[in-house]
Amino acid sequence: MQLKKTQQGPRNIRRQLAVATCSLLAGASHAGGLIASGDNWKIDSALLLYAEKDRVSLAEGILSISKEIDDDEFINARIVTDVLTGSSPNGAVPSNTAQTFTNPSGNSTYTEAANTTPLNHTFKDLRNALSVEWDTPLSRSLRGTIGGNISREYDYLSTGISASLAQDINQRNTTLTLGFSLNKDTWDPVGGVPVGFTVMPTSSTNKKAIDGANTDKTVKEILFGVTQIINRQTLMQANYSWGQSDGYLTDPYKILSVLENDGSGNLRGTNPYIYENRPDQRTYQSLYWKGVHQFPNENVLNLSYRYFWDDWGIQSHTVDLRYRFDFDGGHYLQPHLRYYQQGAADFYRQTLTDGEEASLAYASADYRLGEFVTQTIGLKYGFEFKNGAEINFRAEMITQEGKDRSADAVGVLQNQQLFPDNEAYLLQGGLSLDSDMVIKYIMRLFK
């Protein structure tokens, strides 16, 4: 975002941040629609490629369209398609001997070599998502936004609604935002929903214990935000959000390794793997601050910080820094740095000992609930044409450093990396233009 291009004053800057605030609830950003005008549709498209080292790969296509349908009234739509393939950690720890696991379907098995992190190599999914949002003035100083979204995966369906109000005060230099969202999700796992802490079958001829309970999940979120224009070059934003998830919150594809209780670190002789079990409710909160400043040379600094905590015991800190260098002729470069640090959930365990599951209510070895640090470094290049179109490219490298839970590293496991580091790369290309440009280009092709 360039502050120097908002010649209509702080009002447009403030509204862009207000809409971005509301989009945190809807899960998508619709700020592009704010620059649509007249009879044309604003079209933003992007292709993203993401690959982890020896793990998951993702190809994502994004299409956003927006239009000013009346004076200061906008409609925004966003379509996303994801294709995921590769391998995903199943939760078991590495061992000094080869390990054999049953696929989620229960129809086949796979074997992991000794001293390697067990991965489910059959991981694949296709996700299609659609979100629509209507943003309209309700009075001279009050705006309303309402939206809906639907997302479908092979084994997961999510539908939701969101709404927000943005009130201008203090001569339109301050905007107060109140928003909420409600999502209803449903799991339909391959092979059925396993009963928590029951044994994973040791061969495709055995059957896992299936839980016939409801697999629905409800997610409610509320957000309070303040956006303040400090001066013509600086604005700040602060948000507080509260959310609660109720229902089936366990990952049906994750397991835990069960060890002998003699301190050797060896896997239990029979039935060494059990399915994880998580609470059926989670309440979480976050504080978010963002500042945007344009320097006299027209470069723009964008800095944000987020603190998150929940009743599962997880706490996290996120710092995000972007600095945009504007050059003559419409070119710009934007370096990106991001630092994320997370503490582990109270029930996070990398292993259990024989019989310990009987005394526990919850346990999970999912690394996403563990203690780790993620660092991102990237660079974005963009070119803005005189007709308002833009093309951009982004490349990033992401590294994750996990921390082993020392209490679980007993016996032979002291020689294993129970939370291995990970590395990923991201490439993205984007194109932004309006419908009139598209029509003119198509007409040229058929001349």
> For residue 253, is it within any domain?
yes
Q: Tell me the C-alpha distance between 112 and 103, whole Å.
A: 12
Other CB atoms within a 10 A radius of the CB of residue 229 amount to 21
State the residue range of the domain holding 424: 3-295+350-370+396-401+418-431
Contacts of 48 (CB under 8 A, 6+ apart): 58, 59, 60, 61, 62, 426, 427, 428
- Residue type, position 202, single letter: T
Domain assignment present for 92: yes
Query: Would 327 be classed as within a structural domain?
Result: no
Instruction: Note whether residue 305 is domain-resident.
Output: no
Res 174: pLDDT: 96
**408 assigned to some structural domain:** no
**Cβ neighbours of 266 (radius 10 Å):** 17
Does residue 340 form part of some domain? no
If one counts the domains in the chain, the total is 1
Q: Of 373, 427, 426, 422, nearest to 53 (Cα)? A: 422
Count H helices and E strands in the chain, helices first.
2, 21
Decide if 133 is inside a domain: yes
Q: Residue 270 has what pLDDT? A: 87
Question: Using one digit for the tens of pLDDT, what is the confidence trace for 86-100?
Answer: 998 999 999 999 999
Give residue 27's pLDDT. Answer: 39
SS3 readout for 41-61 = CEEEEEEEEEEECCCEEEEEE
Q: Specify the residue for token string 């979100």.
A: 131
- Consecutive 10-residue averages of pLDDT for the chain (447 residues): 35 41 39 45 94 93 94 94 93 93 85 92 89 96 97 95 97 96 94 91 73 87 97 96 97 95 92 95 98 94 98 98 96 98 97 94 97 98 91 98 92 93 96 76 65
Residue 210 lies in a domain: yes
pLDDT at position 447 is: 64
d(CA 46, CA 430): 4
pTM: 0.89
Using one digit for the tens of pLDDT, what is the confidence trace for 273-286? 999 999 999 999 99
